[in-house]
Amino acid sequence: GDSVTQMEGPVTLSEEAFLTINCTYTATGYPSLFWYVQYPGEGLQLLLKATKADDKGSNKGFEATYRKETTSFHLEKGSVQVSDSAVYFCALSDKGGSQGNLIFGKGTKLSVKP
Amino acid sequence: EPEVTQTPSHQVTQMGQEVILRCVPISNHLYFYWYRQILGQKVEFLVSFYNNEISEKSEIFDDQFSVERPDGSNFTLKIRSTKLEDSAMYFCASSDQRGVADTQYFGPGTRLTVL
């Protein structure tokens, strides 16, 4: 079945460091791909999304490119801030599977130190 | 900005007891979802709900679970006879459409602890 695999955390970085959180997926159809973020004490918030191959989603300095050839959707940010400390979830929604229902990775906890 | 709310934030119950987790979706949304995350594991889809009926459910959503929209604002998840393995964070979500790329808005979650 469809699945999402993302790198294990926690990830600890210094402020202004470069961030990459890897995410790969398996899907039977043509999935849309998402990154959600969960700040402490809050719900999951959509960070960015991409709906087809080669699309790049971006928001708040984060970006991710839908790579069909490598079945990946890695999250990157050039210079992280302390306020980026949160748990990041990669997810997919597959037309061929559970339409509209999200399949998540385990989440990666990011801590950014001043 | 409108948001999904959930109550309680933390529920502790004894095994075998019934619990009801409550959610208030965003007011003009039509599609509602429950997900759960067992500690250290993935967020898993439980059920989706539209037009006062279940539209899809996962294998996890067995006979001990039920959902209801008792009035125009609340969306509830009932677990009839809780088991230890039901301990998890339960997230409610809503969206105004149900296409594959439509954004689901999540609540902050209810942490359920079954003793």
Please state the φ and ψ torsions of residue B18, each to the nearest 5 degrees.
-95, 140
Whether B99 shows a pLDDT value over 70: the answer reads no
Beta-bridge partner residues of A62: A59, A77
The per-residue pLDDT of chain A, averaged, comes to 90
Whether A16 shows a pLDDT value over 70: the answer reads yes
Spell out which chain B residues touch chain A, with contact meaning CB-CB distance below 8 angstroms.
Answer: 3-4, 6, 31, 33, 35, 37, 40-45, 48, 56, 58, 91, 93, 95, 98-109
The Cα A28–Cα B79 span in angstroms is: 32
Indicate yes or no: CB of B93 within 8 angstroms of CB of A103. Answer: no
In this structure, are residues B78 and B66 in contact, taking their beta carbons and an 8 Å threshold? yes
The Cα A88–Cα B95 span in angstroms is: 20
- Give contacts of A102 with chain B, Cβ < 8 Å: 35, 43, 45, 104
Q: Which of B42, B84, B83 is nearest to B64 (CA)?
A: B83
In this structure, are residues B35 and B90 in contact, taking their beta carbons and an 8 Å threshold? yes
Which residue in the block uniquely carries the two structure tokens 């039977």?
A: A28
pLDDT value of residue B98: 61
Which residue in the block uniquely carries the two structure tokens 């759960």?
A: B36
The Cα A14–Cα A16 span in angstroms is: 6
Please state the φ and ψ torsions of residue B86, each to the nearest 5 degrees.
-80, -10
Write out pLDDT tens, residues B9-45. Answer: 999 999 999 999 999 999 888 889 999 999 888 889 9
Write out pLDDT tens, residues A53-99. Answer: 999 999 999 999 999 999 999 999 999 999 999 999 999 987 544 44
In this structure, are residues B5 and B106 in contact, taking their beta carbons and an 8 Å threshold? no
pLDDT value of residue A96: 44
The Cα A83–Cα A31 span in angstroms is: 30
pLDDT value of residue B73: 87
The Cα B65–Cα A107 span in angstroms is: 25
- Give contacts of B6 with chain A, Cβ < 8 Å: 43
Mean pLDDT of B70-91: 94
Whether A100 shows a pLDDT value over 70: the answer reads no
